[in-house]
A and B are shown apart, each in its own frame.
Chain A
Amino acid sequence: MTTFLQQIVNGLSLGSIYALIALGYTMVYGVLRLINFAHGDVYMIGAYVGYYLSRRLQGKEPSITSALIVMFGAMLACALLGILIERFAYRPVRRQARLTLLITAIGVSLFIENTAQLIFGPDPKFFPSLAPHADFIVAGVRLTSEQITVIVVSFLLMVALRLFILKTRTGKAMRAVSFHLDAAKLMGISTDRIIATTFAIGSALAAAAGVLIGMQIPKIDPLMGILYGLKAFVAAVLGGIGNVPGAVLGGLLIGSSEVMVVGYLSSTYRDAIAFAILILVLILRPQGLLGRVHKEKV
């Protein structure tokens, strides 16, 4: 029983990371109907920006302030990167067929991965610790301070996102754009600006996930975004793509099931389970757990 509880805790902290990345996928899909293949690589860049920032701050005591600087620095840099990707790669092809958009996304993803390998070097780097480490034992279950940080920070970010989408004017405009792009444009919403904002927010969340994973598993490499990105995408589809609470639910489910497979089956299948879940979902409930069915019109 204790082992099972321990697995649940591990699954929750991994799942929060997937959920944060999945939010970016689901938001971009909501406004553009595009699988942003480059999103996982934005997450990787976030981890690297965090790595270089924390190297800069090293020498000082690990403190809350420096951790916050690292986190916000990475989020800001990736928000900028997200806007650049949208402006220079996706906007020129936005009116083309969706396949063109998808291939462009694959191109952007390959570009970021290979440029990162060139700049950062292909070898993994070790993320310095940002906060003092501590272990807590609750009912026989070991909770590390990193796990608690991951869960708390991602929870706070998700609540902030929810409030932003539901309570602000920009959030309302985002919902309008994802409901119907052209109608939103006719209502006087600057759709270009809203799409750019969506990319910025999604990328910032991915960067936060990158810094958090750096704290938890202190090893980062230029290709780490591929698998995390794919699994986060699966999480978004599982929850119902375009649906924000669905992405969080999907992320937590994917994270937990992956940890369970590693714990009870075999670690070689850890990357296959997400895809197996994806295929089951798409066959049994293609709209996802919380998604709504869209009727196709001619």
Chain B
Amino acid sequence: MKKLLPALAVVGVLILANALFGGSLIPGVAMPPYLLQVICLAGINITLAVSLNLINGFTGQFSIGHAGFMAIGAYVSAYFTVTFGDRLRSALPFVPSVGRESLVLLAALSLGAICASIAGFVVGVPSLRLRGDYLAIVTLGFGEIIRVFILNIDAVGGARGYSGIPRLANFFWIYLFAAATIMVVSRIVRSSFGRTLIAIREDEIAAEAMGVHTTRAKVISFVVSSAMAGVAGGLFAHYLMYVHTNSFTFLKSFEIIIMVVIGGLGSISGSVLGAVLYISLTEGLRQFAQYRMILFSLLLIVIMIVRPQGILGHREVVAFLKRKRSSEATSGIRGTG
């Protein structure tokens, strides 16, 4: 029960915040729709960045195909709600309508996550035997292949994009899954399996010599990461109500990588920070749209030269602040002495 309390608190706060932002808690008080949309997209990006960090930051395997798994999650879950959503709703007449919608969303998201993780397994098994740059290029290739195949499926709109998806996701669901992703990844990283992953990142050959089944560990972390990307994709589809394969090109994968790298590879709070920073900068610089990506690419190069470990490095925000404070304290002592 004690362990459940924080989780319940998070859910409670999210329900309250959702009602407040949506305008149903205090009549007349609501978040401007544009701002709310930016915040919701930031939440989806947090899920994407944190899940990518599991494979890129903690396992040290550089994947550039995250958008592909996001696309699978988006299309599969959207197809499910559009085709089977009504049948599922009519099968549950005894559940209140809010619960029915939630169940449809949850079913769609889980299906999307399952399909994305199957794809992650199929992609991961052959490609995770490769090292470094080869893996990067193969994941990029798989991401593009996934996209081209979806583009050729007429049942989900093909090149016209897929429209008519009901809006089932909102602030509450997006941030619930963002929180769940953060929790799952941080629990994995602190477990003994997480130490296996970090061992692979630090030195793959040494890890193998210590008896770690490296390919197996890498595939597991890849599959978990893909499943989370699938959930993020599903939320994306059910929030914007329209998906097009152009949203899932490798530029999207690059975007997620920029978030992870800016925040710090191997830092969960870093990824959250990176995602929020990225979204606020892109939205804040909207009137300078054509300079925006130039700025980001320069930022990426400069960060790599000046601080290749990202803003937070491997550390979490708590440890980062603690270290800052203690170093300030010691310098203070030195100053008086």
The answer to whether A103 and B294 have CB atoms under 8 Å apart is no
Query: Do B205 and A298 touch (CB < 8 A)?
Result: yes
| Max chain A C-beta neighbours (<10 A), residue from B148, B297, B300, B304 | B304
| Secondary structure type dominating chain A contacts | helix
CA distance A99 to B257 in the complex (A): 12
> In the assembly, what is the distance between CA of A275 and CA of B141, in Å?
5
Q: Which residues 254-298 in A have Cβ within 8 Å of B in the complex? A: 266, 268-269, 271-272, 274-276, 278-279, 282-283, 286, 296, 298
Say whether A230 contacts B254, CB under 8 Å.
no
Interface residues of A in 18-43 (CB under 8 A from B): 33-35
B248 at the interface (CB under 8 A from A): no
Tell me whether B297 and A111 are in contact (CB under 8 A). yes
**B316 on interface, CB distance cutoff 8 Å:** no
Q: With the chains together, A109 CA to B257 CA distance in Å?
A: 14
Q: Does A215 contact B (CB under 8 A)?
A: no
Interface size classification for chain A: 35 or more
A99, A104, A115, A117 interface centre (most CB from chain B within 10 Å) = A99
Given A34-B133, A104-B301, A230-B141, 14 more contacts at CB 8 Å? A89-B301, A89-B305, A92-B305, A100-B308, A106-B254, A107-B301, A114-B297, A237-B134, A272-B148, A275-B142, A278-B137, A279-B142, A282-B130, A282-B138
B148→A233 contact, CB < 8 A: no
> Inside 8 A of A96's CB, which chain B residues have their CB?
304, 308
Closest partner residue, chain A, to B206 (CB atom): A298
A108 and B301 form a contact (CB under 8 A): yes
Residues of A within 8 A of B133 (CB): 33-35, 98, 102
A183 within 8 A of B: no
Question: B149 an interface residue at 8 Å Cβ cutoff?
Answer: yes
CA A106 – CA B113 in complex, angstroms?
A: 28
Tell me the bound Cα distance from A272 to B149 in angstroms: 9
Given contacts A99-B132, A114-B294, contact A268 B304 (CB under 8 A): no
Asked whether A100 lies within 8 Å of B304 as measured between CB atoms, the reply is yes
Q: How far is the CB of A240 from chain B (nearest CB, A)?
A: 13
Q: B151–A268 contact, CB under 8 A? A: yes
> Least Cβ distance of A9 to chain B in Å?
26
Question: Could you pull out 8 A-B pairs where Cβ atoms are within 8 angstroms?
Answer: A98-B132, A98-B133, A104-B305, A111-B297, A114-B293, A118-B291, A266-B152, A278-B137
Bitwise, B245-257 to A at CB < 8 A (1) or not (0) is: 0000000001001
Contact A99 B62 (CB under 8 A): yes
User: Are B145 and A93 neighbours in the complex by a CB distance under 8 Å?
Assistant: no
- Is A110 on the interface with B (CB-CB < 8 A)? yes
Interface residues of B in 55-74 (CB under 8 A from A): 60, 62
CA distance A275 to B265 in the complex (A): 27
A208 at the interface (CB under 8 A from B): no
B197, chain A: closest CB distance, angstroms: 15
Residues of B within 8 A of A282 (CB): 126-127, 130, 134, 138
Contacts of B257 in A (CB 8 A): 103, 106
A234 beta carbon closer than 8 Å to chain B: yes
A97 part of interface (Cβ distance < 8 Å): yes
* CB-based nearest A residue for B294: A114
Total count of chain B residues near the partner, CB < 8 A: 38
A18 to chain B: closest CB distance in Å? Answer: 15
Inside 8 A of A100's CB, which chain B residues have their CB? 304, 308
- Once A107-B300, A268-B152, A286-B130 are accepted as A-B contacts, the answer to whether A278 and B308 lie under 8 Å apart by CB is no
Q: Which of A35, A92, A110 contacts B300 (CB 8 A)?
A: A110
B210 lies within 8 A of chain A by Cβ: no
List chain B positions with a Cβ less than 8 A from chain A: 60, 62, 126-127, 130, 132-134, 136-138, 140-142, 144-145, 148-149, 151-152, 205-206, 254, 257, 261, 265, 290-291, 293-294, 296-298, 300-301, 304-305, 308
Contact A275 B144, beta carbon cutoff 8 Å: yes
- B301: chain A residues at CB < 8 Å are 89, 104, 107-108, 111
Q: Which residues of A contact B152 (CB under 8 A)?
A: 266, 268-269
Beta-carbon contact of A103 and B138 below 8 Å:
no
How far does the Cβ of B152 sit from chain A's closest Cβ, in whole Å?
6
Contacts of B265 in A (CB 8 A): 99
Q: Which of A236-257 contact B (CB under 8 A)?
A: 237
Q: How far is the CA of A100 from the CA of B56 in the complex (A)?
A: 12
- State which of B60, B126, B142, B294 has its C-beta within 8 Å of the C-beta of A283: B126
| Neighbour of B304 across the interface among A103, A234, A298, CB < 8 A | A103
Query: Min CB distance, A248 to chain B, in Å?
Result: 20
Q: Which of B136, B151, B205 contacts A296 (CB 8 A)?
A: B205
Whole-angstrom distance between the Cβ of B291 and the nearest chain A Cβ: 7
A279 touches B297 (CB 8 A): no
CA of A108 to CA of B297 in the docked complex: distance in angstroms? 7
Q: Which of A33, A102, A117, A269 contacts B136 (CB 8 A)?
A: A102
Q: Given A271-B144, A282-B130, A93–B305 Cβ distance below 8 Å?
A: yes
B62 and A233 within 8 A (CB): no
Out of A115, A230, A274, A279, which one reaches B127, CB within 8 Å? A279
CB distance from A111 to the nearest CB of B (A): 4
Residues of B within 8 A of A286 (CB): 130, 134
- Smallest CB separation, B312 vs chain A (Å): 16
B304 touches A93 (CB 8 A): yes
* Least CB separation from B310: chain A residue: A103
Q: Smallest CB-CB separation from A275: which chain B residue?
A: B141
| Contact A117 B298, CB 8 Å, known A99-B62, A237-B134, A271-B148 | no
Task: Report the minimum CB–CB distance from B251 to chain A (whole Å).
Answer: 8
Q: Which of A102, A107, A274, A283 has a CB less than 8 Å from the CB of B62? A: A102
